[in-house]
Amino acid sequence: MAWVPLEQAVTRISCQGCNDMVQTTVSTSMGNKQERYDALVTVYSADLFRYALWLCRHRPMAEDLVQETFLRAWKSLHSLRDDKAAKTWLFTILRRENARQYERYSPGFVDDYDFDGVADDANEDDEQLAQLRESINMLADEYREPLTLQVIAGYSSKEIAEILDLTPGTVNTRVFRARKQLMELMSAGGQSVVQGVTG
Amino acid sequence: MNCVEFRRHCLQEGVLLDQSATAHLETCSECQRFFQHQTRFESLLASAMAVPVPEGLVSRIKLRKSFAPRWNIRHYAMVAMLLLSVGAGLRLFYGPAPLDEALLAHALESHAYRSAADQPMPLAKVSQITGGLGAQLTSLSDIRYAGHCRIHGRMAVHLLVNTDMGRYTLFLMPNQALEQRISHELDGHEVVMFPSGKGSIGVVVPAGSDWVESTEQQVREAVSWSA
CATH number, domain at B198?
3.40.1000
Do B184 and B172 have their domain in common?
A: yes
Q: Name the packing angle between helices A6-14 and B29-49 (round to 10°).
A: 80
Do B83 and B104 have their domain in common?
A: no
Residue ranges in chain B whose pLDDT is less than 50:
87-97
Express each pLDDT in B94-131 by its tens digit.
443 478 888 887 887 666 666 677 788 888 888 888 88
Do B87 and B108 have their domain in common?
A: no
- For chain B, the average pLDDT equals 81
> Is B171 within 8 Å of B155 (Cβ atoms)?
no
**Is residue B54, in this structure, part of any structural domain at all?**
no
Q: Which residues of chain B does A157 touch, with a Cβ-Cβ cutoff of 8 Å?
A: 12
Averaged over successive runs of 10 residues, the pLDDT of chain A (199 residues) comes to 41 44 50 81 90 87 89 86 84 89 53 48 63 88 93 89 92 94 82 43
The amino acid at B66 = S
Q: Count of domains in chain B?
A: 3
Determine whether the interchain pair B38/A197 forms a contact, defined as Cβ–Cβ distance below 8 Å: yes
Interface test with B, best of A15, A61, A63 (most B CBs within 10 A): A63
Do B32 and B82 have their domain in common?
A: no
Q: What is the pLDDT of residue A108?
A: 44
Do B85 and B27 have their domain in common?
A: no
The set of residues, in sequence order, having a beta carbon less than 8 Å from that of B29 and lying 6+ positions away, is none
The CATH number of the structural domain formed by A126-199 is 1.10.10.10
Q: What is the pLDDT of residue A189?
A: 67
**HEC string of chain A?**
CCCCCHHHHHHHHHCHHHHHHHHHHHHCCCCCHHHHHHHHHHHHHHHHHHHHHHHHCCHHHHHHHHHHHHHHHHHCHHHCCCHHHHHHHHHHHHHHHHHHHHHHCCHHHHHCCCCCHHHHCHHHCCHHHHHHHHHHHHCCHHHHHHHHHHHHHCCCHHHHHHHHCCCHHHHHHHHHHHHHHHHHHHHHCCCHHHCCCCC
* A87-91 contact pairs (CB < 8 A, 24+): A87/A22, A87/A44, A87/A153, A88/A155, A88/A159, A88/A162, A88/A163, A90/A40, A90/A44, A90/A48, A91/A48, A91/A51, A91/A149, A91/A153, A91/A163
- Other beta carbons within 10 Å of A111: 10
Closest Cα of chain B to A82: distance in Å?
22
Q: What is the pLDDT of residue A188?
A: 77
Q: What is the pLDDT of residue B113?
A: 66
Q: Is A57 on the interface with B (CB under 8 A)?
A: no
Closest Cα of chain A to B150: distance in Å?
6
Order of strands across the sheet that contains B167-173: B143-151, B154-162, B167-173, B199-206, B189-196, B182-186
Do B124 and B210 have their domain in common?
A: yes
Q: What is the pLDDT of residue A124?
A: 43
CATH class of A1-114: mainly alpha
Q: What is the pLDDT of residue B207?
A: 82
Query: The domain containing residue B71 runs over which residues?
Result: 59-95
Q: What is the pLDDT of residue A35?
A: 81
Q: Which residues of chain A does B38 touch, with a Cβ-Cβ cutoff of 8 Å?
A: 197
* Interface subset of A 118-177, CB within 8 angstroms of B: 118, 120-121, 124, 128-129, 132-133, 136, 148, 150-152, 157, 172, 175-176
Do B219 and B192 have their domain in common?
A: yes
Q: What is the pLDDT of residue B97?
A: 45
> Is B145 within 8 Å of B124 (Cβ atoms)?
no
Do B116 and B195 have their domain in common?
A: yes
The dihedral of CA A131, A134, A140, A146: what is its sign? positive
**Topology alike, domains A1-114 and A126-199:** no
Q: What is the pLDDT of residue B175?
A: 84
> Is B165 within 8 Å of B158 (Cβ atoms)?
no
